[in-house]
Amino acid sequence: MAHQNNEELIYELIIEDLEETIAVQDKMILQQWRTADAANERTYLEFLNVQASIDKLYGANGNADASWEVLDKKLSIPENPNFKIRAKKLNIGFYLRIAAVLLLVSSLGYYFMAQGKYAVISTSETANVTRIVLPDETIVNLNAGTKIRYNKENFLSDRDLEVLNGEVFIQVVKHAGGQFKVIAGDVEAEDIGTSFNVENQNGNVSVTVEEGKVALKHEGTNQKLLLSAGKMGTFNPSTKRLVLTDNSDLNYKSWLDKRFNFDGMVLSKVASQLEEVYQVPVVVRGNLLNNRKFTVAKLHYQTIDSALAVISASLQCKITREKGTYVLSDN
């Protein structure tokens, strides 16, 4: 079932079910999801409990203060009397969407929410790689600290995806709708049958093509580039220049696939890249060790412990753990 891989859609169905606005066919999909796994049913019951607490707030004979206390604990809303006064005027869907956001953030490291006509997906700064399937079945992998959005009302015709901040790797599928386009700051990247990486850090944009081609352009200056596999296009908001180069960063996608090429790289840079990908501090002690070159060409490990074990054996150095930080030092 496609919905099983899209938690945000399941949460929308739960909300519609509790609001009694769900369509018959969606009700069947939701029921299949609930019975597929005990954890799914527990999630459904969490929403049901939130609704019960909200219902008490509207009950004539209920203890409103006690109900707010229950609801506050469930939704983790800070104490704020002004918020409570305003919130009582809102409908149940509002509260359930808050619950959906909190459940996603706590369990998956990302959240999906609706902002008007837009669907917005954000990942936390410590999230693992998050895989999202768009309505046209294009796959988007989000790095930690990333925020994207798309117009859910006409996405299948326009196929525009905005990378508001962070980094994504996109595998575009063929579709009868418009050509797939990524908007990152002032730059647009139009797919011509491909998979590519997009990074937007405060308007500094880089697009790296793995397969196929990408047409890159800056609307303000009408600059255009055509990127093929192995090429990278960058945009600097200060100079407002698009620049085409060969992609010299062999590890540009390591955040996604945990594949590294460290052949001839000094250990200090190796440690920096591992730290960025695994989101764990890595320190090298000693100038001599810092500048030693790692000669193992390729690594592919899902955990940092495995990667560091190979480095330790290759360079004959010691690895210790100090207050959450990995320390590499001479034996």
Q: What is the mean pLDDT of residues 61-72?
A: 48
Pairing of strands 147-151, 160-171: antiparallel
Residue 202 neighbours by CB under 8 Å, 6+ apart: 165, 237
**Between these two residues, 183 and 331, which has the higher pLDDT value?**
183
The predicted-structure confidence for 176-201, as pLDDT tens digits, reads as follows 778 899 999 999 999 877 899 999 99
Least confident span in 33-47, 61-75, 193-207, 306-320 = 61-75
Query: Is the pLDDT at 302 greater than 60, yes or no?
Result: yes
Tens-place pLDDT, residues 147-171: 999 998 888 888 999 999 999 999 9
pLDDT at residue 259, rounded to an integer: 93
DSSP per residue over 241-306, as a string?
EEEEEE---TTTTHHHH-EEE-TTEEHHHHHHHHHHHHTS-EEE-SHHHHTPEE---EEE-SSHHH
Class of domain 258-330: alpha beta
DSSP label at residue 176: S
Task: Please report, for residues 262, 286, 311, the alpha-carbon distance to residue 294 in angstroms, rounded to integers and kept in the order given.
Answer: 6, 15, 7
pLDDT at residue 235 in the model: 95
The pLDDT-based confidence of 304 (bands split at 50, 70, 90) is very high
CATH 3.30.950.10 corresponds to the domain 109-250: no
Task: Give residue 287's pLDDT band: very low, low, confident or very high (50, 70, 90).
Answer: confident
Q: Which residues contact residue 168 at a Cβ distance below 8 angstroms, ignoring those fewer than 6 apart?
A: 140, 141, 142, 143, 146, 148, 197, 198, 199
28 by Cβ neighbours in 10 Å (0-12 / 13-18 / 19+) ranks as: exposed
pLDDT for the residue numbered 97: 58
Question: Which residues lie closer than 8 Å to 281 by C-beta, 6 or more apart?
Answer: 275, 324, 325, 326
Tens-place pLDDT, residues 74-131: 444 444 444 443 344 445 555 555 555 555 555 556 666 667 788 888 888 888 888 8
Say what the pLDDT of residue 107 is: 54
- Please list the residue range(s) of the chain that carry CATH number 2.60.120.1440: 109-250
Mean residue pLDDT across the chain: 80
Residue 49: its pLDDT value, please? 64
Every domain of the chain with CATH number 3.55.50.30 lies at 258-330
State the burial class of residue 212 (Cβ atoms within 10 Å of its Cβ: 0-12, 13-18, 19+).
middle
Residue 79: DSSP 8-state: P
What's the gap between Cα 174 and its chain centre?
23
Confidence check: pLDDT of 221 > 70 = yes
Distance, in Å, from the CA atom of 11 to the CA atom of 107, rounded to the nearest integer, reads: 14
> Which range has the worst mean pLDDT, 31-35, 97-101, 311-315?
97-101
Across 31-35, 199-203, 270-274, least confident range: 31-35
40 pLDDT more than 50: yes
State yes or no: pLDDT of 255 exceeds 60: yes
Strand residue runs (E) in the chain:
110-115, 118-123, 130-133, 139-142, 147-151, 160-171, 181-184, 187-201, 204-218, 223-228, 231-236, 241-246, 259-261, 265-266, 282-284, 293-294, 298-300, 317-322, 325-330
